[in-house]
Amino acid sequence: MDEYDVLVIGGGTGNNVAAAAAEAGLETALIEKGPLGGTCLNRGCNPSKMLIQAASAAQQVREADRFFLDASLDEIDFESIVADMDETLSGLAAGMEEAYREKEHLTLYNDEAVFVDERTVAVGGECVRGEKVLVAAGGRPVVPPIDGLDEVDFLSSREALYLDEQPESLVVVGGGYIAVELGYFFETLGTPVRIIETGETLLGREDSEVAETFTEIARERHGVHTGYRATGVESVNGTVRVQAEGEDGETITVEGEKLLLAAGRRPNTDTLDVAAAGIETDESEFILTDERLQTSAEGVWAQGDIAGNAMFKHSGDYETRIAIDNIVHDERRAIDLSAIPHAIFTEPQIAGVGATEDELRADDREYVVGRQSLPETPMGRAKKLDGGFVKVLAAPDGEILGCHMLGEGASTMIHEVLVAMRAGSGTVTDVTDTIHAHPTLNKAVEYAFQDALDA
C-alpha cells in the first residue's frame, strides 16, 4: 500500500491544496477521476458563463433600437458557440493535468476513490493511505423521483452545456440558479423554454422581493409553471412529455424536444463511502466539519460542495486557503463564512449577501429597509434601464444585515457591500461615507444605503 503525507480526494478546489502540499515538500497524492478543475472549470461556472455571454450579446443586439440603432440578428451559430467554449476550457484542464504530472512530490491518480478504512482509499485496483486527508470530491446533479424517468433521455446541467445541436424546445424541471441561467441562455438564443418549479416563485432562496420580481420577468420570456411538481415523464413522437401536479391536485402537461433536470445538487459522499473512514455526515449526507474544516475522523478535513458549508466556488476557494494553512502548515485557522455573496448571471443579474427580509421576520429581528431603483439614477437613465433595484436591510444601529440586488451589473455592484461587511465596520456608513464616482451604477448602492440611514 502506498502511503503519503497528504492525500487529496477531488481535483476541483482540492487541487490547490495538493499543489501547496507538494511545494512544501510533502509527499502528496491527488485523486480525480475526471479532468482537473472540478465542476467549476468543466461542468459549471466557467462553461455556463461563457455561453451566457453569447446570449447577452444577442440580447444587446435585439435591444439596440432603444438607442435608435438599426441592428438585426441574422444568424446564431449555436454549434460554434459551444465548440469555442469547449475548446477553450478543455485546453485549460489538459494543461493543468500536464503541469501536475510533472510536479515534484505529487502523484496524480486519474481514477475513482472509495474509502475502505481510516484515511485509506481504494483507487485503480490498489490501496492508498494518507497521514492527512482532504476530502474535496464535490457533488453532482440531483435526479428527482419522477415516474418514467428511467425510460426517457434527459439532460443534467453537465450535458446541457455541451449540446452539439440547439434544441427545438426545452422543458426545465427546477427553478434555482442553474435552471434560470440555462433557461435564459437557451431562450435568448432562440429555443422556447418552459420551466416547472414546485415553489411559488423561481429562485425561492432569494429575498422574496427579488424572487417575485424575477419570476415576473421570466414569465415574459418562458412558460413558467410555479407551484407544480413534476410527477411523470414519457417519450411521445420524438419529444418528452412531462406531467406535473399542483398542491390543489390540478395537473398540467408540458412538452419539449429536450428535458433538463435542474433540481439541485447532492454531495458525492455515497460514492466515496465516507462512513468506512469514520467520517460523519448530516441528514442530507454532507460531511460535517468544525470551524477548522476538520471532520469527525482524526486527520481528515473536508471542503467545498461535499461539506456543504456554502456551495459556491468562491466559498470553496476561501476554504482552500484555510485548508492549506491547517493541513500543510499545521495552523489552527478557523473559517468565517459570514457575508458570503452569490450572483446569478441571467438578464437581469441578481446578487445578494446576508439575511433576507423573510429570514429577519422569522427571527423577529428589528430592521429598516433602504431601496433605490436603478432606472432612477443618472447611469440608469443613460443606459435606458427599465427595471432593477438595490435593497438594503439594516439594524436600527446601522449594522448591515443583508443586501439584495436585481439589475444590470448586480454581480459587480455587490462587492462594495462585501468589503464593508467583511473588512469594514459592517455598518451602513461604510458605504454612505465612501465617495462614489459619478455617474456609475454603484451610485444606486450609495443611494440605497443612504435611504436605510435615513429610515
Sign of CA dihedral 13, 329, 339, 363: positive
Annotation marks residue 329 as catalytic: no
Distance CA 27, CA 135 (A): 17
Distance CA 48, CA 59 (A): 16
| Three cell numbers, residue 11 | 481535483
- Closest-CA residue to 405 (of 389, 394, 419): 389
Whole-Å CA distances, 165 to 52, 87, 89, 222, 252: 16, 16, 19, 20, 28
Q: Which one from 105, 222, 415, 438 is the annotated catalytic residue?
A: 438
Question: To 10 degrees, the CA torsion angle through 99, 105, 107, 108?
Answer: -30
Position 24: which residue type?
A
| Three cell numbers, residue 356 | 433576507
> Between β-strands 170-173 and 193-197, what pairing exists: parallel, antiparallel or unpaired?
parallel
Whole-Å CA distances, 3 to 121, 131, 247, 364: 11, 8, 55, 53
The residues, any chain, with a CB within 8 Å of residue 340's CB and separated by 6 or more, are 310, 312, 314, 315, 353
Distance CA 116, CA 127 (A): 8
Tell me the three state secondary structure of residue 57: helix
**Strand (E) or helix (H) holding 235:** strand 228-236
Q: How far is CA 5 from the centre of its chain?
A: 32
Residues marked as catalytic: 438
